[in-house]
A = this chain, B = another copy of it.
Amino acid sequence: MGKGRLEAFSDGVIAIIITIMVLELHVPAGGGLRALRPLLPVFLSYVLSFVYLGIYWNNHHHMLHTVKKVSGPMLWANLHLLFWLSLVPFATGWMGVNRFAAGPTALYGGVLLLSAVAYFVLQEAIIASQGPDSILKEAVGGDWKGKVSPALYLAAIPLAFVSPWISNALYVAVAAIWLVPDRRIENALRAREGA
Protein backbone atom coordinates (compact mmCIF):
# COMPACT_ATOMS: atom_id res chain seq x y z
CA MET A 1 0.00 0.00 0.00
CA GLY A 2 1.37 3.36 -1.06
CA LYS A 3 1.49 6.27 1.32
CA GLY A 4 -0.46 8.60 -0.98
CA ARG A 5 -3.85 7.62 0.30
CA LEU A 6 -2.68 7.65 3.94
CA GLU A 7 -1.45 11.21 3.49
CA ALA A 8 -4.61 12.26 1.68
CA PHE A 9 -6.87 10.77 4.35
CA SER A 10 -4.87 12.33 7.19
CA ASP A 11 -4.88 15.70 5.44
CA GLY A 12 -8.60 15.43 4.96
CA VAL A 13 -9.27 14.63 8.62
CA ILE A 14 -6.92 17.36 9.89
CA ALA A 15 -8.41 19.91 7.46
CA ILE A 16 -11.91 19.07 8.71
CA ILE A 17 -10.88 19.12 12.39
CA ILE A 18 -9.28 22.56 11.95
CA THR A 19 -12.35 23.93 10.18
CA ILE A 20 -14.99 22.34 12.40
CA MET A 21 -13.32 23.97 15.39
CA VAL A 22 -14.40 27.37 14.13
CA LEU A 23 -18.05 26.29 14.46
CA GLU A 24 -17.62 26.69 18.23
CA LEU A 25 -17.43 30.46 17.53
CA HIS A 26 -21.22 30.73 17.54
CA VAL A 27 -22.58 33.72 15.65
CA PRO A 28 -23.94 36.07 18.36
CA ALA A 29 -27.53 37.25 18.06
CA GLY A 30 -26.79 40.93 18.66
CA GLY A 31 -25.08 43.07 16.04
CA GLY A 32 -23.10 45.40 18.33
CA LEU A 33 -19.34 44.98 18.64
CA ARG A 34 -19.87 44.31 22.37
CA ALA A 35 -21.49 41.02 21.40
CA LEU A 36 -18.03 39.85 20.39
CA ARG A 37 -16.51 40.32 23.84
CA PRO A 38 -17.68 37.01 25.37
CA LEU A 39 -16.28 35.28 22.30
CA LEU A 40 -12.73 36.45 23.00
CA PRO A 41 -11.66 33.40 25.08
CA VAL A 42 -13.25 31.08 22.50
CA PHE A 43 -11.28 32.90 19.80
CA LEU A 44 -8.02 32.64 21.77
CA SER A 45 -8.48 28.92 22.39
CA TYR A 46 -9.19 28.56 18.65
CA VAL A 47 -5.92 30.32 17.78
CA LEU A 48 -3.96 28.03 20.12
CA SER A 49 -5.52 24.87 18.71
CA PHE A 50 -5.15 26.08 15.12
CA VAL A 51 -1.41 26.47 15.75
CA TYR A 52 -1.20 23.01 17.36
CA LEU A 53 -3.03 21.36 14.46
CA GLY A 54 -0.80 23.25 12.03
CA ILE A 55 2.25 21.89 13.84
CA TYR A 56 0.87 18.34 13.77
CA TRP A 57 0.06 18.59 10.07
CA ASN A 58 3.50 19.99 9.34
CA ASN A 59 5.37 17.36 11.38
CA HIS A 60 3.18 14.53 10.11
CA HIS A 61 4.06 15.66 6.66
CA HIS A 62 7.80 15.65 7.30
CA MET A 63 7.69 12.31 9.10
CA LEU A 64 5.86 10.61 6.23
CA HIS A 65 8.51 11.92 3.87
CA THR A 66 10.79 9.24 5.22
CA VAL A 67 8.21 6.49 4.63
CA LYS A 68 8.16 4.43 1.48
CA LYS A 69 5.82 1.58 2.28
CA VAL A 70 2.90 1.80 4.68
CA SER A 71 2.56 -1.17 7.04
CA GLY A 72 -0.55 -2.31 8.92
CA PRO A 73 0.66 -1.10 12.34
CA MET A 74 1.56 2.28 10.83
CA LEU A 75 -1.93 2.62 9.45
CA TRP A 76 -3.59 1.98 12.80
CA ALA A 77 -1.06 4.13 14.66
CA ASN A 78 -2.03 6.91 12.26
CA LEU A 79 -5.75 6.42 12.88
CA HIS A 80 -5.02 6.43 16.61
CA LEU A 81 -3.31 9.81 16.26
CA LEU A 82 -6.25 11.16 14.25
CA PHE A 83 -8.60 9.93 16.96
CA TRP A 84 -6.99 12.08 19.67
CA LEU A 85 -6.65 15.04 17.33
CA SER A 86 -10.37 14.74 16.56
CA LEU A 87 -11.07 15.51 20.23
CA VAL A 88 -9.17 18.82 20.03
CA PRO A 89 -12.25 20.80 18.84
CA PHE A 90 -14.28 19.54 21.81
CA ALA A 91 -11.53 20.34 24.34
CA THR A 92 -10.92 23.71 22.67
CA GLY A 93 -14.58 24.66 22.71
CA TRP A 94 -15.04 23.62 26.33
CA MET A 95 -11.95 25.58 27.42
CA GLY A 96 -13.00 28.66 25.43
CA VAL A 97 -16.63 28.70 26.54
CA ASN A 98 -15.54 28.37 30.19
CA ARG A 99 -12.88 31.09 29.87
CA PHE A 100 -9.91 28.82 30.53
CA ALA A 101 -11.35 27.36 33.76
CA ALA A 102 -9.35 24.70 35.64
CA GLY A 103 -11.22 21.55 34.55
CA PRO A 104 -11.39 22.32 30.82
CA THR A 105 -7.75 23.50 30.84
CA ALA A 106 -6.70 20.19 32.40
CA LEU A 107 -8.75 18.22 29.86
CA TYR A 108 -7.16 20.22 27.04
CA GLY A 109 -3.76 19.19 28.38
CA GLY A 110 -4.93 15.59 28.52
CA VAL A 111 -5.95 15.64 24.86
CA LEU A 112 -2.60 17.23 23.92
CA LEU A 113 -0.77 14.60 25.99
CA LEU A 114 -2.57 11.69 24.38
CA SER A 115 -2.05 13.20 20.92
CA ALA A 116 1.68 13.50 21.66
CA VAL A 117 1.79 9.89 22.86
CA ALA A 118 -0.06 8.78 19.72
CA TYR A 119 2.41 10.74 17.58
CA PHE A 120 5.28 9.01 19.37
CA VAL A 121 3.70 5.59 18.81
CA LEU A 122 3.35 6.37 15.09
CA GLN A 123 6.98 7.48 14.98
CA GLU A 124 8.08 4.24 16.61
CA ALA A 125 5.95 2.18 14.21
CA ILE A 126 7.65 3.88 11.28
CA ILE A 127 11.12 3.43 12.79
CA ALA A 128 10.39 -0.25 13.47
CA SER A 129 9.31 -0.79 9.86
CA GLN A 130 12.45 0.88 8.54
CA GLY A 131 14.78 -1.50 10.37
CA PRO A 132 18.18 -0.75 11.93
CA ASP A 133 19.09 1.68 9.16
CA SER A 134 15.99 3.83 9.82
CA ILE A 135 16.35 7.33 8.42
CA LEU A 136 13.61 8.59 10.73
CA LYS A 137 15.48 7.28 13.79
CA GLU A 138 18.59 9.08 12.61
CA ALA A 139 16.57 12.24 12.01
CA VAL A 140 14.82 12.43 15.37
CA GLY A 141 18.02 11.53 17.22
CA GLY A 142 17.64 12.16 20.94
CA ASP A 143 14.21 13.62 20.16
CA TRP A 144 14.33 16.13 23.03
CA LYS A 145 11.25 17.99 21.75
CA GLY A 146 9.29 14.77 21.66
CA LYS A 147 10.30 14.05 25.25
CA VAL A 148 9.93 17.51 26.75
CA SER A 149 6.45 18.13 25.31
CA PRO A 150 4.59 15.28 27.06
CA ALA A 151 6.48 16.06 30.28
CA LEU A 152 5.21 19.65 30.13
CA TYR A 153 1.64 18.54 29.34
CA LEU A 154 1.84 16.10 32.25
CA ALA A 155 2.89 18.93 34.55
CA ALA A 156 0.22 21.26 33.14
CA ILE A 157 -2.69 18.95 33.93
CA PRO A 158 -2.51 19.08 37.76
CA LEU A 159 -1.18 22.67 37.66
CA ALA A 160 -4.45 23.74 36.02
CA PHE A 161 -6.09 23.28 39.42
CA VAL A 162 -3.47 25.59 40.99
CA SER A 163 -3.81 28.19 38.25
CA PRO A 164 -5.05 27.56 34.72
CA TRP A 165 -2.79 30.37 33.52
CA ILE A 166 0.34 28.36 34.32
CA SER A 167 -1.01 25.46 32.27
CA ASN A 168 -1.95 27.67 29.35
CA ALA A 169 1.47 29.32 29.47
CA LEU A 170 2.96 25.83 29.22
CA TYR A 171 0.76 24.97 26.22
CA VAL A 172 1.89 28.18 24.49
CA ALA A 173 5.52 27.40 25.37
CA VAL A 174 5.36 23.90 23.87
CA ALA A 175 3.76 25.29 20.70
CA ALA A 176 6.58 27.87 20.49
CA ILE A 177 9.21 25.10 20.82
CA TRP A 178 7.73 23.35 17.82
CA LEU A 179 7.17 26.47 15.76
CA VAL A 180 10.91 27.12 15.67
CA PRO A 181 11.91 25.51 12.38
CA ASP A 182 12.96 21.91 12.85
CA ARG A 183 15.30 20.76 10.13
CA ARG A 184 16.16 17.37 11.56
CA ILE A 185 14.30 15.31 8.99
CA GLU A 186 15.30 17.54 6.08
CA ASN A 187 18.93 17.39 7.18
CA ALA A 188 18.91 13.62 7.59
CA LEU A 189 17.36 13.20 4.14
CA ARG A 190 19.87 15.57 2.60
CA ALA A 191 22.83 13.93 4.35
CA ARG A 192 21.80 10.55 3.04
CA GLU A 193 21.26 11.81 -0.49
CA GLY A 194 24.71 13.38 -0.38
CA ALA A 195 26.29 10.16 0.87
Q: Which of B11, B27, B72 contacts A94 (CB 8 A)?
A: B27
Q: Does A143 contact B (CB under 8 A)?
A: no
**Interface of A toward B, CB cutoff 8 Å:** 1, 5, 7-9, 11-20, 22-25, 27-33, 35-36, 47, 50, 54, 57-58, 61-62, 65, 72, 75-76, 79, 82-83, 86-87, 89-90, 93-94, 97-98, 101-104, 106-107, 179, 181
Measured CA separation A93–B27 after assembly (Å): 6
Q: Which of B8, B32, B89 contacts A22 (CB 8 A)?
A: B89
Other contacts beyond A19-B86, A57-B79, A58-B76: 8, CB < 8 A: A9-B15, A12-B12, A13-B18, A17-B19, A28-B94, A31-B94, A50-B83, A58-B79
Residues of B within 8 A of A76 (CB): 54, 58, 179
Q: Which residue of B has the minimal Cβ distance to A27?
A: B93
Residues of B within 8 A of A104 (CB): 31
